[in-house]
Chain A
Amino acid sequence: MSWDIVYYRQADGRVPVDGFLTGCPVKVRARLLAVLDDVADAPPPQFSGGGRWEATHGTMRGYYEVRAQGPGREQFRLFCILENAEPEELRRRGLSGPAIAVLSGMRKRWMTTFTEADYRRVRRLGNEYLATTPRRVAE
């Protein structure tokens, strides 16, 4: 069964990933959304995403990223959290089933790394998202 894909919506109504996606080159946007749909169609623990969907580690443990490369080898990432629990718990969270919650995206030049401050911003969004029940998602 496919999972849902939901986009985190902040208290002020902004959807962080929307702005990020809109700023991506069209081909990159197509790749990122294709990977998301691929993973949602064959969700974990099945193998999906063709290697462009990966669990992040270290301080970003518990998060997942969709990876795509753009012109000049620029790197694009979407950061996500998996929502999977008993049906009753998912209902409590306002979800109709297991879901991939997309928080935000970031881009970086080839062979560079995101800073800890970059990751902190992602985690702040993740914490905000998880702290709200039912979840606040774009509709």
Chain B
Amino acid sequence: MTTYHRRRVAAEMEDPEFRFEYERTRRELAQVNAVIRALDELRDEAGWSKAELARQIGKNDASVRRLFTAEVNPELRTVAAMAAALGAEIRIVSRRRARRESRRSAAVA
């Protein structure tokens, strides 16, 4: 059934501009997805329902439920509030810096 779509994407991938943007977008989406899924796992580990998490951050439970099922675009403020309520934090990790530090530690060792 997917054949038509797959064929279309495969044909488009022949274009380097399409391929670059497609792959870049997939990587970006994967990161956002990972953040939201990690929050959902923390919520689960805490034994909180989505409604309980919503109460903790002062949101209505429908909005939090929608967020975990990708029905709305997650707002950074809400994500940060949920992370804080679950005893976690959002961090940006620089790959370039991490690589530099890893090379430096390898050189010292």
**Segment among B23-31, B53-61, B88-96 that sits at the interface with chain A:** B23-31
Chain B 43-84 residues near chain A, CB threshold 8 A:
66-74
Are A6's CB and B1's CB within 8 A? yes
Any A CB within 8 A of the CB of B105: no
Cβ of A17 to closest chain B Cβ, rounded Å: 10
Counting CB contacts under 8 A, is A96 at the interface?
Answer: yes
A74 and B3 alpha carbons, distance in the complex (Å):
30
Partner of A47, one of B8, B26, B70: B70
Q: Does A35 contact B (CB under 8 A)?
A: yes
Per the CB 8 Å criterion, the residue count for chain A at the interface is: 41
User: What is the number of contacts between chain A and chain B, taking CB atoms within 8 Å?
Assistant: 109
Task: Among A5, A27, A47, A50, point to the contact of B17 (Cβ < 8 A).
Answer: A27
Among A31, A49, A55, A139, the residue within 8 A (CB) of B21 is: A31
- Closest-CB distance, A96 to chain B (whole angstroms): 5
Are the C-beta atoms of A30 and B32 separated by less than 8 Å?
Answer: no
Question: Which of A37, A51, A54, A137 is close to B26, meaning CB atoms less than 8 Å apart?
Answer: A37
With both chains docked as a complex, state the minimum distance between the C-beta of A70 and any C-beta of chain B, in angstroms.
11
Residues of chain B at the chain A interface (Cβ within 8 Å): 1-5, 8-9, 12, 15, 17-23, 25-26, 28-33, 36-37, 40, 66-74
